[in-house]
Structure 1
Amino acid sequence: MRMPGRVVALATVAVIGAAGAMSGIAVESHATKDMTIVAEFEDASPVLVGNEVKVDGVAVGEVADTRVADGHADVLLSLEPSALPVYRDATVRLRPVSLLGERYIDLDRGTPGSEQLADGDTVPLPQTSVNVDLDEILNTVDDPTGESLAFLVTTLGEGLRDNGGNVDAALTALAPALRDTQSLTSVLKDQNVLLGNMVDNVQPVAGALAADDGKSLDTLVASADRLLAASAAQQEQFDKTLEQLPGALRSARSALGELAGTANEATPTLRAVRPVTEDLSTISDELNTFADSLDPALANAQPVLEKAQKLLDEAAPVASDLKGASPDLREASASARPIADNLTGNLDNVLDFIRYWALTTNGHDGLSHYFRVNLLVNPDSVTGLAPADLPVPDLLPGPAPVNGEPPGAGPAPQPEPEPGGTLLQPPTTEPQPAGPEATGLTPEQEHGMVDYLLGGGR
């Protein structure tokens, strides 16, 4: 068996590991002194004080002390400034240096950007682990397993014979993929909780689909096939619908624009209505109280409604008769409307006439009622009552004598009426001489005066 191919492969792997180790400590710390952190292990029996602490294969400190506390082992790690900072999610793994049993502490400083550990902080037990020793592996390998492993190694060696160059090319080609895989594993590590939740959520679905020997999954697949077949049959309609979709989207955009304008205009109104809406609860409570108070009245309204129905039934014949007479009533009311309008416009005059007529006719003496007239007399009124061919006496005495007669000479003045009295004298039992009446006027003059006062013809 030729060994150069294997040596080259191992050398390539070592170079890749060294490059990864050097890139892992590219971030330098600005710390200036050592720092001690505590790593909790379930079993730290192979660890000795002075064992190295490495980050990506580079020694950055040593084990300062070990002690037992609360059922686990505390390992104190003294770290150089180049190993800092160490973050809260850092992990610590106990690994073998060689097959001779010597150990070292492999420190993963955690995710940059997270909280940093301070001097004396602890890496908890879930973030520490111990590498499995070779003797433990060999103890689990029995004779059949050993034979199978030997056969696997022999077959693998036969396959790599004379293929060293191909292995080198494959490793070179795999280097970018390994870096990408390392990035992917880092991302998956960060999303470990999310992946766990996704698996937990997918598991019930997968279990339900796997039930009944996969019959549910078969039914789902058959339904999907029918759906795809129906979609393929309606492809032309789908295409037409998609062609109309841009126009519909434009219309929807325009409608949304108008809706936005309407919303902007409605905002002041809604803001003004807000005080009213805040009182709606109080109004609703008051309406409920009113409804509760109205219930007894509505419950007692049935007898009233029955009585009202009886009254309406009795009023039906009267309404029918009034309906028959309504044309005549309409015509009569139309004829009476002008009279009512005139009375309404001259209501004060009508009331005055009634009042004065009552005052005129309510007086009486020992014989009978008499007619009372309030008359204001002036010369024009007297001359207006006298005929044109009758000389009018001078009722008003002048200040100087006329034709040598003393003042006051001439016809005797007529007596003035008393206030509220009348010019008509009460009748006497003695016969009156022919000629002028008791008023001092002839019958023609009295008739003219009455016509003048009462509105008769002259």
Structure 2
Amino acid sequence: MQRAALRQRGAAAPGDPSRVPGDGAADSPRCALRRQPPDRAQCGADRSGSVKRAILTHRVDFAAIAALIVAAIAVSGYILEHQPSFQFGQSYYTVKAQFATAAAVTGGQGQAVAIAGVQIGQVGGVSLQDGRAVVTMNIDKQYSPIYRDATVLLRPRTPLKDMYLELDPGNANAGAIPNGGVLGPANTTPDVDVSEILSSLDTDTRNYLILLLSGGAQAFHDPGSTQTAPSAPAVAGLRGTLKRFEPLGRDTRTFASLLATRQRTIRRAIHNFNLVASSLGGVDTQLASLVSSSDTNFSAISSQDAQLQATLSLFPATLRQSAVTLGKVKAFSTASATTLQHLQPFARNLGPALRASRPLFADTTPVIAGQLRPFTVAVRPLARTLAPAATDLARATPPLSRSIGVLNALFNTLAYQPKGAQQSYLYWGSWLAHIADSLVSGQDANGAFVQGLFMGTCPELNFFEGQLQPNNQPLGVILDLLNAPALSTLPGVTAISGTTQYSCPSVR
């Protein structure tokens, strides 16, 4: 058998360059044949020896590769350690906050959560719940806990909307929020975009703002400037403008202090109003009754507007009279000081007089007990007898009251004195009574007679004497009884020649 000539699987063909003379691997028998199991251990030993020889040959290269791998692992660990979003092996105190909008907030990007500008955690995630954005805040445990009255403000760190959360931890009296607790929308304030501010302005305000910006652009436009420096007039004008900032700042500070005072006043007013509202909240039934009663009262007052107007019209005269009365009261008080001083001995003696009256009171007590009380008991049957009469009187009282009301209105009308020099009816009534008394004060044998006073003008006397008296004898007797003066005796009267007539003086 020619075993050496047998082609083994994996053996190199004749002329194969891998079969280098002197190479132990090439010169050794082929150990890959399945039918040569005893040679397999020898084949493994040859292979391990080849690897060792290769490592020894390229040991510098192997060391460099190992060093690069170690350096890559160290650099990767350093980079990951300094990444804000790297949270491997870290434990946080988690609080969630509900916002109306959480635009530009993304979890895992290292967006900070800060208290007074100091970072205490970062945003862990954003989700949507019941139409609100829920932002998860991962807070370092050393800054826990956060209280229930805490406030969270969403603010941009840069104009490019690099957002962060400004947190006010609140007061310990409100109680701590448990891990995973939620702050409601009342405790959060989202970021306000400039577009929202501009959209809240009306059309006129936006137009004025555009005019302001255009005017500012024209004011800062410098046609004489170069690429390196502005012109001298522009610099001088800007310097003059900046000099005016000092009084503006002073006035602005005064204005800001006034606003701060106003804010404190408004805060105190709101607090007081809250106290009033809280107090009124428990008396809603009484308030409803008060409103109903006030409506009834105002309705009754509105139905008496004419009387109120008349009453108010009397106030000026009443106030004037009150001022005069108060002046007189002042004079009276000044004058009564002496009287009061003289009354002091009387007041001092009043106490002994009352003590001296005690025997009188002791003597009258049996009279009251033994006589007046039995009299009262005896009068009771009479009172029961008078009860029907009292009932009839009660029925008659309303018409009598109306009659008294009419009389009251009549007397008020008679006593009413209008403004100015005009007097009331009572004033003229006294004169009427005086004149009526003087009319019947005369008398003769036939009794009292009514007196009279004849009055007439010059033309009337001329008519009486020239026409009536000659032609009417009875009327002439009456004129004689009136004792009218003769027309010729009046001053300024002249006789007309050839007639019985007289000429009366002209009245100018």
TM over 0.5: no
TM-score scaled to structure 1, two decimals? Answer: 0.32
Larger-Rg structure: 1
TM-score scaled to structure 2, two decimals? Answer: 0.29
Greater RCO between the two (CA within 8 Å, min separation 6)? 1
